[in-house]
C-alpha cells in the first residue's frame, strides 16, 4: 500500500470508528466531528439552502453526509453518501434517510441525477489534490442546477488536513465559510449551472 493510500485509510478508519460510538450518543454533531465546535448547524443548513435555493421538491445529494448533523435540517428530497459504513448505518437508524456507502471521487450515480449537490466539511479529509479534483468533477457531473462545497480549508490546526487556495476553484463563486466566518481560514465554493 502506498503512503497516500495509508493516509486515506487512516481518515476512513477514524470516521468508521466515530460511527461505532455507543448508541446512547444521540448527538449527531459528535458523530460528524463537530463536538469541539460551536457550530449552529441549523443556521448552516439555512445558509446552504439559501445559496442553492433548495426547494422541498428538489432532489439533493449530500456527499460526505456522515450521520446527518447537517442533513437533519435539510428539507428536500434528500440522498446521502459517505465512505464510512458505520456513519451511514447511524444516519439511516437516526434519520431514516436514503443513504449509501461510497467514495466522493467515484459516485455511483448517472450524470445530472440530482438538482443540487452539497459537500460540506469534507474536502479537508481528502488524500490529495488529485483526489479532490476527481471529487469536484464528480459533484459537477451528477448535478443539474448547482453544487456547494463548504468549509474548504486554507489553513488548519491539524497538519493532516488537506489545504486549498481559492485559486483551486477558478470559475466558482467563493465566499467565507459558514460556521466560523470570523477566522476566514475556510471558504465555500458555489457553482450554479446557467
Ligand atoms: C466533518 S464530517 C461532515 C458530515 C456532514 N457533511 C455534516 O456536515 O454533518 C466529514 C464526513 O466526510 C466523510 N468523508 C471524508 N472523506 C470522504 C470521501 N473521500 N468520500 C466520502 N465521504 C468522505 C466522513 O466519513 C465524514 O462523515
pLDDT digits (tens, 9 = 90+) for 43-82: 999 999 999 999 999 999 999 999 999 999 999 999 999 9
Which H, E and C letters describe 151-170, residue by residue? EEECCCCCCCCCCCCHHHHC
Q: Is the pLDDT of residue 24 over 80?
A: no
Q: Is the pLDDT of residue 28 over 60?
A: yes
What is the 8-class DSSP label of residue 182? G
Span 119-139, mean pLDDT?
97
What is the Å distance from ligand 1's center to 166 Cα?
A: 21
User: In which band, very low, low, confident or very high, does the pLDDT at 158 lie, cut at 50, 70 and 90?
Assistant: confident
Cβ–ligand 1 contact at 148 (below 6 Å):
no
Cβ–ligand 1 contact at 48 (below 6 Å):
no
Counting residues of the chain whose pLDDT is more than 70, the rounded percentage is: 93
Query: Domain-by-domain residue ranges, the chain?
Result: 3-192
Cβ–ligand 1 contact at 178 (below 6 Å):
no
Is 24 or 129 the better-scoring residue by pLDDT?
129
Whole-number Å distance between alpha carbons of 50 and 94? 25
Q: Whose CA is nearest to atom 6 of ligand 1?
A: 65
By the 8 A CB rule, do 180 and 121 touch? no
- H helices of the chain, in order, are 3-18, 28-31, 41-52, 85-95, 129-142
pLDDT at 23: 65
- So what CATH class is 3-192? alpha beta
Question: pLDDT digit string (tens) for 71-127?
Answer: 999 999 999 999 999 999 999 999 999 999 999 999 999 999 999 999 999 999 999
Beta-sheet pairing, 59-63 with 173-176: unpaired
Amino acid at each position: 500500500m502506498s503512503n497516500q493510500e495509508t493516509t486515506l485509510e487512516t481518515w476512513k478508519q477514524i470516521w468508521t470508528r466515530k460511527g461505532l460510538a455507543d448508541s446512547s450518543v444521540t448527538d449527531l454533531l459528535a458523530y460528524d466531528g463537530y463536538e469541539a465546535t460551536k457550530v449552529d448547524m441549523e443556521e448552516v443548513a439555512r445558509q446552504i439552502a439559501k445559496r442553492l435555493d433548495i426547494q422541498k421538491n428538489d432532489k439533493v445529494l449530500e456527499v460526505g453526509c456522515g450521520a446527518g448533523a447537517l442533513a437533519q435540517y435539510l428539507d428536500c428530497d434528500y440522498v446521502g453518501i459517505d465512505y464510512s459504513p458505520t456513519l451511514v448505518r447511524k444516519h439511516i437508524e437516526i434519520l431514516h434517510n436514503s443513504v449509501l456507502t461510497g467514495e466522493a471521487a467515484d459516485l455511483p450515480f448517472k450524470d445530472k441525477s440530482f438538482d443540487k449537490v452539497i459537500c460540506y466539511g469534507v474536502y479537508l479529509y481528502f488524500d490529495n489534490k488529485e483526489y479532490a479534483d476527481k471529487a469536484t468533477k464528480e459533484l459537477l457531473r451528477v448535478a443539474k442546477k448547482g453544487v456547494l462545497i463548504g468549509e474548504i480549508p486554507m489553513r488548519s490546526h491539524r497538519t493532516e488536513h488537506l489545504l486549498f487556495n481559492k485559486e483551486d476553484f477558478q470559475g466558482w463563486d467563493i465566499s467565507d465559510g459558514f460556521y466560523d466566518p470570523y477566522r476566514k481560514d475556510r471558504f465555500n465554493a458555489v457553482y450554479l449551472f446557467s
